[in-house]
Amino acid sequence: MNYRSEALGRYVDVSITYPTGNYSYRDTSDDPRSFLSGKPKPVYREGMKFQTVWLMHGGGDDDSTAMRYTLAERYAEENNVMIVCPDISNSFGLDTEYGVRYQTFVSEELPVLVRALFASSDKREDNFIIGFAMGGNVALGTALMHPELYAACVDISGGIGMTLSTETLKEELLGDHFKNFFPLFNKSFGEAENIDGSRFDIGKTAKDKKEAGEELCKFYVVCGEHEFIRERVERDVQLLNEFGYDTTYICEPGQTHDFNMFDLGLKKAFYELLPLKRGK
C-alpha cells in the first residue's frame, strides 16, 4: 500500500500480507484436492478479522526488506496472522526533534487507517508489535508508550534508538561516535540535557505506566550471543525487570547482528513466543 500520511506529511509505503493460502472463496469440503492440506479450507466471510503483527524494520532498511531478507511472510502465513510493516526510514520510531512525527504515524495514524481499510482486528489481544535492530527499539518504545495497543512485544536485537536507560541515551548523544558517523541520531533526539522527562525518556514513561496501574504489555527480548549491542539490550532487560514488567530474555548462542539472527528471532516469535490463535 502507498498512501499520503498526514503524520509524516508525505506519501509512504506499507507492506501488508494476509495468510490467503489458508482460505478459499468456496466450500471445499467435497473437493478431492483438499487432501493436499488434509482438511477443507475455511471460507472467506464478510467481516472476518485477523490477528495482526506490526513489524518494524531495521536501520537502513525499508518495509520491503523485512519481507525479502527474512521469511516473515511465510511464518505469518503458517500461523494465520497478517503483517503490517511500514516504512519508518531511519527514524528510530520517534516524533523527531527535526519535526517528522514517526511515532504518531506508527501508534496513532497507522492503526486507524489499517483497521478502516483492511481486515485487522482492533482487539488488544489480537495485536502484537515486533521489530529487529533499530526496529526492535521502535517496538520496545512504542509498546511502553502505548501498552493499550498490544498484547505482546518482541524486541529482536534492538540496540540503537529508544532505551529505558536514560543515562545510556544521554551518554550516546554526548559522545563522538554518533556525531561523527551517524549525526541523524543526534538530530532525531536533540540535546542530551533535554532528555530527562521528555517524550524520549521512555524509562520514566515505563515507571509512570506501571505506577498508574495500567494494563501492561508482555515483553520478549531476543539477542545474539556475539552482538555488539548485547550490553545495551541486556540493560533494557534489567530495567524492565526492575520496573516490574513481565519480561522474558533469550540469548541465542553463536549469533551476531545480521539477518540470520533477525530471521531466527522472527521464527521464534511467530511459532513460540506470541499467543497466536492460529485460526482456531
Give the CATH number of the domain where residue 81 resides: 3.40.50.1820
pLDDT at 27: 87
Better-predicted residue by pLDDT, 130 or 33: 130
d(CA 61, CA 89): 7
d(CA 95, CA 20): 35
Q: What is the pLDDT of residues 100-113, one digit of tens each?
A: 999 999 999 999 99
Question: What average pLDDT does the structure give for the chain?
Answer: 95
pLDDT at 40: 81
Mean pLDDT over 22-51 rounds to 81
pTM of the model: 0.95
**Would the pLDDT of 161 be above 70?**
yes
Q: What is the pLDDT of residues 199-224, one digit of tens each?
A: 999 999 999 999 999 999 999 999 99
pLDDT at 39: 75
Question: Which amino acid, residue 240?
Answer: L
pLDDT at 239: 98
pLDDT above 70 covers what percent of the chain?
98
Residue 176 lies in a domain: yes
Domain count, the chain: 1
Residue 159 lies in a domain: yes
**Would the pLDDT of 261 be above 90?**
yes
pLDDT at 266: 98
pLDDT at 37: 59
Vertex 156 angle, CA 152 and 158, to 5°: 110
Residue range(s) defining the domain that contains residue 69: 2-273
Mean pLDDT over 173-185 rounds to 95
d(CA 4, CA 13): 9
Residue 280 lies in a domain: no
Mean pLDDT over 7-15 rounds to 98
- Give the residue among 150, 152, 88 at the shortest CA–CA distance from 120: 150
pLDDT at 55: 98
**Would the pLDDT of 263 be above 70?**
yes
- Give the residue among 16, 21, 25, 29 at the shortest CA–CA distance from 45: 25
Mean pLDDT over 27-51 rounds to 79
Residue 279 lies in a domain: no
Residue 278 lies in a domain: no
Backbone φ and ψ of 49, nearest 5°: -130, 145
Reported as a pLDDT band with limits 50, 70 and 90, residue 36 is low
Residue 111 lies in a domain: yes
**Would the pLDDT of 34 be above 60?**
no
Residue 101 lies in a domain: yes
**Would the pLDDT of 52 be above 80?**
yes
